[in-house]
Structure formats: C-alpha cells, structure tokens
C-alpha cells in the first residue's frame, strides 16, 4: 500500500481527501480568526477611553457586526468542521468521509462567501452595521446597499454548513468500523452527530430569515414592516429559532473535544459516558424550545415569558451534568498538564463561569436589567472564547502531533495558554461589572463612569490578540519540524486515531479495523 498523494495547488483545489479538506477548513478558520480578531482590536481601541478617537460610529457598528459574523460563521464553525473532517473518519475507523466530492464543494464555497462578506466593508455606504443579529427593520429599510451581498454570503455559508452536516451524518451512520456501535463511539463523534442534526434543522431557518429580508428590501414584501402589515418581532422569533441552536452548534463539539482530552491526561476513563451522550442530546433538544429568552424585552405575553424562563433554566441541568462528569473524571486520576490539558481545564473553569451568567439571564425579571448590556457581552464571550475557542486551541495541540508527525513546542504552548488565560479574564471579566452598572452593548462611546473597566478590558484585549500571533508561530514551527511524535503521542490514550502512524498517512483504514 503506497501513500501516494497529489502535489501542487491542484492537490488542494480538487482534493476529496478528508485530511486535506480538514486542513483547509482549519486554515480558513485560522485566517478568519485573525480577520475577526483585528476588528475586535479596532473595537477595543475605540473603547479604550471615553470620547471618539479612532473611528466614526457607523464604522464602529460595522466592526461589531462583522466581528460577530466572521467569528461565528468564519472562525468557530469552520474550525469545528475541520476537526470533524480530520477526526471523525479516523475515530470511527472509516477510510474517508461518505461524500468526498460534496466535501470538497462544501469547503470551497467558504472562501468565496467569506470574501464576499468582508468585501462589503469597501462598498459605498459601508458594510452591514446592524449587529450580527441583524434585526429588522434596521437591516431592511434602513440598511446600506451592501446588505444584499451580506444576504448572499449568508446563503452560501448556509449551503456549506448543511452539506458539511449531511456528510458528517452520512459518515457516522454508515461508515463505522465493524463492532463500533453507536454507544462505543468517542464522545467527540457523538457531539458532532448531534450538532450536525442541529445544523440541518436550523440553517434553512436562517436562510428563510435572510430571504424574507431580501424580498422586503427589493421586492416590496412586508414580512418585517408593520406599515405593510408585517411584524418586526417576527424577524427576531425566526432569527433566534436559528440562533439559539446555533450557539450549541458552536459549543457541543467543544464539549466533545474536552471530553477526549481530559480522560487522556487524567489517565482515567470518562466518568459517565452514557450520561454525557444523553446530556448532549438533552441540551440539543432544549435548544429548540428556548429561543425567546433572547428577546424578553420585546413585550411578550406574561405566560410566554414564564414558559421561556422555566425552559431556559432547565438547560442548567444537563450542562451541570457535563461539568460534574469532567470533574469526576479528573477526580482520583493521575493527571499531567501538557498543553492540551491546560486548555481543557481552562475551558472547564471559564465555560462554567459563562454558564452561570447564562442561568442568571434565563430569569426573565432580572434579564430585563441585563438585556443588551455588557453583562450579556461578557456572558457570551465567556462561553465562546474561553469556551469554544479554548476547546478548539486545546484540540489543535492535542491532535497536531498526529496530523504533522511532530510535537509542538511544549514551552511555548504553555506560555500561550497562560498568557491567553490571564488576558482573556482581564478582557472579559470587567465587562460583567460595567454591564451591571448600566453600560449598553454596541455603543462606540460611553459615560465616563465606565472608563476604568473599559480601559482594563481593552488592555486585556490587546494582550489576548497579540498572544494569538504566538499560536500562529507555534503551529507553523510544528508543521516545519520538531521532535518526532510517536504513534500514540500521549500516554496510552484511548481511540482508533492513536493506532495509526504519526503523521497520519494520506489514506487510513482502507481495511476496516475490528472493534472488540
């Protein structure tokens, strides 16, 4: 069996190999992470001190909007699909994804969609400036011309996600090695299976929302225009019916990654495998029936507010089960703290902080005061940055020796973790305080009593941003060389991916392994 691989640029353009496509997804996500991150730097520079110093308010709004869109659709989601492409076939003993040509297409849509989205910033009237949630009618009647390009970009991103999800489901359900029953699958595979169903369920809803926007803008319909008999709040219901499952689309695979890393470095089996699977499924189910907690202040009937409060706080139960499980896995283990474990433990701590503020916001009467303040900004950044992003980075450190055949620089990896973990808290923790004290989100300038914490937050932001350049250096250094990784890489880890050579050959599991 020869490990033949094509070469040159056409290898990447025409590739149907799950590992190549995984690499493409991860690099695309990495680039977008820096694009979106540099927009965050503009935001934090403007908010460094009171008064307007750097950009005008309209451009500030398009920075917050594009930062959110790019980080969600360009960085976190593609990174997760990149992991799925690389790891799912290797974890279930399959030779490749079930639908390799579609796999190629679902990736190659992304650079075009991403470029179209970013290009709106250079159009007359500026880019989208209505927040990543693009509430109508600010995004319809009152939006710049470039919004139509934004709508098309969202459609393309949706195609890509749906095709990726179909592929992942088809792969997991049809291509498992003999003996690999569903309840023997690694947890990462389970979380992605459930995530893929979420994607197929909600991406069409997002497509519906932006299509209604498109016809409202250009073809005289009034879905979201009260003057024509429509309802602006309808937009929010449709958006959040997509949007709430979307946040779990970003976090469930993170749970999966962390659930792979912790047992390896605790040298102990995951405490409750079955309950982790059920908890993931429960969170996914609940994610469909809680959407209106994002919109408590729109003036719902009190019965609706009560229902969405009760349903929302229920999510704390399966989420708590997950945190308890990770804790119990570490308990009486024999832990070492290589870089991936540091990120995973950092995830467990800081995601929990974000989870608790989420519970606070689920309580409607209190949420009336938190809603649309920096408290919300702090909450969702805690679950997305030291949450999803930490899991992604930890996952890269965990599997990159398998991908490249080289160990990363352990010293620099640890430095990267500690700098990130400290600065991310300086960046986001003070935002809880200014939010509670009354600073609304999405404002380019603020009353002077919020100056000190904003200053702190900006400094944390600059350090966090600069630290990620170190990550880029570590990744490139690891690809170019370094200590050779063993096939197992870590100390006796569980999983089929550790039974194949490092670096993983271009073709793996052409003969299916037998699972006992």
Three-state SS for 515? coil
**Shortest separation between residue 138's beta carbon and other proteins, angstroms:** 4
Interaction of residue 360 with other proteins, rule CB under 8 A? yes
Whether 379 sits among the annotated catalytic residues: the reply is no
> Whole-angstrom Cα distance, residue 31 to residue 85?
18
- Binding residues among 463-492 for other proteins as defined by CB under 8 A: none
> Whole-angstrom Cα distance, residue 375 to residue 381?
10
> Whole-angstrom Cα distance, residue 467 to residue 424?
10
Query: Of the candidates 408, 438, 379, which has an alpha carbon nearest to the alpha carbon of residue 502?
Result: 408
> Whole-angstrom Cα distance, residue 247 to residue 72?
9
> Whole-angstrom Cα distance, residue 49 to residue 458?
9
User: Per the residue annotation, which of 322, 381, 402, 432 is the catalytic one?
Assistant: 322
Interaction of residue 281 with other proteins, rule CB under 8 A? no
Whether 155 sits among the annotated catalytic residues: the reply is no
- Binding residues among 320-359 for other proteins as defined by CB under 8 A: 320-321, 323-324, 327-328, 330-337, 345, 348-349, 352-353, 356-357, 359
Whether 294 sits among the annotated catalytic residues: the reply is yes
Whether 441 sits among the annotated catalytic residues: the reply is yes
HEC sequence for 131-150 = CCCCCCCCCCCCCCCCHHHH
Specify the residue, 13 or 317, whose C-beta has the smaller distance to other proteins. 317
User: Per the residue annotation, which of 259, 423, 457, 467 is the catalytic one?
Assistant: 259
> Whole-angstrom Cα distance, residue 86 to residue 105?
16
Which structure tokens are listed for 218? 């250009």
Stretch that binds other proteins, among 87-95, 99-107, 245-253, 362-370 (CB under 8 A): 362-370
Find where tokens 């590739």 sit: 15
Stretch that binds other proteins, among 138-146, 151-159, 239-247, 388-396 (CB under 8 A): 138-146
> Whole-angstrom Cα distance, residue 502 to residue 499?
9
**Shortest separation between residue 65's beta carbon and other proteins, angstroms:** 9
**Shortest separation between residue 60's beta carbon and other proteins, angstroms:** 9
Interaction of residue 310 with other proteins, rule CB under 8 A? yes
> Whole-angstrom Cα distance, residue 14 to residue 395?
27
**Shortest separation between residue 227's beta carbon and other proteins, angstroms:** 7
Q: Which residues contact 256 (CB under 8 A, 6 or more apart)?
A: 186, 187, 188, 189, 190, 191, 192
- Binding residues among 61-120 for other proteins as defined by CB under 8 A: 61
Cα distances from 300 to residues 16, 74, 193, 288, 364, in angstroms, run 49, 33, 34, 18, 11
Three-state SS for 268? coil
Whether 309 sits among the annotated catalytic residues: the reply is no
User: Per the residue annotation, which of 237, 268, 414, 441 is the catalytic one?
Assistant: 441
Interaction of residue 55 with other proteins, rule CB under 8 A? yes
Is the distance from CB of 118 to CB of 70 less than 8 angstroms? yes
* Identified binder of other proteins from the candidate list 43, 71, 87, 129, rule CB under 8 A: 129
Specify the residue, 375 or 398, whose C-beta has the smaller distance to other proteins. 375
User: Per the residue annotation, which of 254, 319, 423, 508 is the catalytic one?
Assistant: 319
Q: Which residues contact 158 (CB under 8 A, 6 or more apart)?
A: 203, 204, 206, 207
> Whole-angstrom Cα distance, residue 248 to residue 431?
23
Whether 18 sits among the annotated catalytic residues: the reply is no
Interaction of residue 121 with other proteins, rule CB under 8 A? no
Which structure tokens are listed for 135? 């509430």
Interaction of residue 205 with other proteins, rule CB under 8 A? no
* Identified binder of other proteins from the candidate list 184, 414, 442, 477, rule CB under 8 A: 442
User: Per the residue annotation, which of 18, 44, 217, 244 is the catalytic one?
Assistant: 244
Specify the residue, 221 or 451, whose C-beta has the smaller distance to other proteins. 451
**Shortest separation between residue 355's beta carbon and other proteins, angstroms:** 9
Specify the residue, 14 or 331, whose C-beta has the smaller distance to other proteins. 331
* Identified binder of other proteins from the candidate list 1, 9, 302, 476, rule CB under 8 A: 302
**Shortest separation between residue 273's beta carbon and other proteins, angstroms:** 7
**Shortest separation between residue 369's beta carbon and other proteins, angstroms:** 6
Q: In DSSP terms, which residues pair with 373 in a beta bridge?
A: 440
Whether 275 sits among the annotated catalytic residues: the reply is no
**Shortest separation between residue 25's beta carbon and other proteins, angstroms:** 31
**Shortest separation between residue 178's beta carbon and other proteins, angstroms:** 25
Q: Which residues contact 320 (CB under 8 A, 6 or more apart)?
A: none
Query: Of the candidates 217, 324, 348, 334, which has an alpha carbon nearest to the alpha carbon of residue 275?
Result: 324
Interaction of residue 410 with other proteins, rule CB under 8 A? no
* Identified binder of other proteins from the candidate list 190, 374, 446, 490, rule CB under 8 A: 446
**How many of the chain's residues bind other proteins (CB under 8 A)?**
102
Query: Of the candidates 430, 343, 426, which has an alpha carbon nearest to the alpha carbon of residue 378?
Result: 430
Whether 293 sits among the annotated catalytic residues: the reply is yes
Specify the residue, 302 or 476, whose C-beta has the smaller distance to other proteins. 302
Q: Which residues are catalytic?
A: 67, 96, 132, 160-161, 244, 246, 248, 259, 293-294, 319, 322, 441
């Amino acid at each position: 069996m020869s490990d033949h691989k094509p070469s040159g640029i056409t290898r990447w353009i025409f590739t149907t190999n799950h590992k190549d496509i995984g690499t493409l997804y991860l690099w695309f996500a990495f680039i977008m992470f820096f694009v979106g991150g540099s927009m965050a730097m503009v935001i934090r520079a403007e908010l460094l001190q009171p008064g307007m110093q750097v950009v005008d308010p309209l451009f500030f709004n398009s920075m917050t909007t594009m930062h959110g869109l790019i980080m969600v659709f360009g960085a976190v989601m593609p990174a997760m699909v990149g992991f799925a492409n690389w790891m799912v076939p290797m974890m279930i003993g399959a030779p490749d994804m079930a639908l390799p040509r579609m796999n190629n297409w679902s990736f190659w849509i992304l650079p075009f969609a991403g470029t179209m989205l970013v290009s709106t910033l250079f159009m007359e009237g500026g880019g989208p400036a209505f927040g990543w949630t693009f509430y109508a009618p600010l995004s319809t009647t009152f939006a710049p011309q470039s919004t139509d390009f934004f709508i098309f970009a969202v459609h393309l991103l949706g195609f890509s996600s749906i095709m990726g999800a179909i592929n992942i489901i088809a792969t997991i359900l049809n291509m498992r090695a003999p003996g690999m029953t569903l309840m023997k699958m690694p947890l990462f595979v389970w979380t992605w299976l459930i995530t893929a169903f979420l994607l197929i369920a909600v991406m069409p809803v997002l497509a519906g929302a932006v299509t209604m926007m498109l016809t409202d803008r250009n073809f005289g319909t009034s879905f979201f225009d009260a003057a024509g008999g429509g309802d602006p709040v309808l937009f929010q219901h449709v958006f959040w019916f997509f949007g709430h499952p979307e946040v779990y689309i970003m976090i469930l695979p993170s749970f999966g990654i962390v659930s792979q890393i912790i047992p390896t470095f605790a040298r102990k089996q995951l405490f409750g495998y079955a309950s982790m699977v059920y908890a993931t499924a429960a969170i996914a189910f609940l994610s469909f029936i809680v959407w209106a907690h994002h919109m408590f202040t729109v003036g719902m009937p009190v019965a609706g507010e009560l229902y969405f409060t009760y349903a929302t706080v229920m999510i704390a139960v399966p989420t708590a089960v997950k945190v308890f499980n990770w804790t119990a896995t570490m308990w009486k283990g024999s832990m070492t703290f290589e870089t991936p474990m540091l990120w995973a433990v950092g995830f467990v701590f800081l995601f929990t902080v974000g989870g608790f503020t989420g519970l606070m916001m689920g309580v409607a009467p209190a949420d009336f005061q938190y809603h649309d303040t920096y408290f919300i900004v702090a909450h969702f950044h805690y679950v997305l940055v030291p949450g999803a992003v930490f899991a992604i980075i930890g996952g890269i450190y965990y599997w990159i020796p398998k991908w490249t055949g080289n160990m990363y620089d352990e010293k620099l990896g640890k430095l990267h973790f500690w700098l990130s973990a400290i600065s991310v808290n300086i960046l986001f923790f003070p935002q809880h305080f200014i939010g509670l004290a009354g600073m609304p989100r999405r404002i380019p300038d603020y009353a002077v009593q919020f100056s000190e914490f904003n200053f702190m937050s900006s400094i944390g932001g600059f350090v966090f941003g600069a630290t990620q350049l170190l990550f880029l250096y570590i990744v490139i250094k690891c690809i170019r060389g370094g200590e050779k990784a063993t096939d197992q890489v870590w100390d006796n880890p569980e999983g089929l991916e550790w039974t194949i050579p490092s670096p993983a050959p271009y073709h793996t599991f052409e003969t299916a392994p037998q699972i006992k």
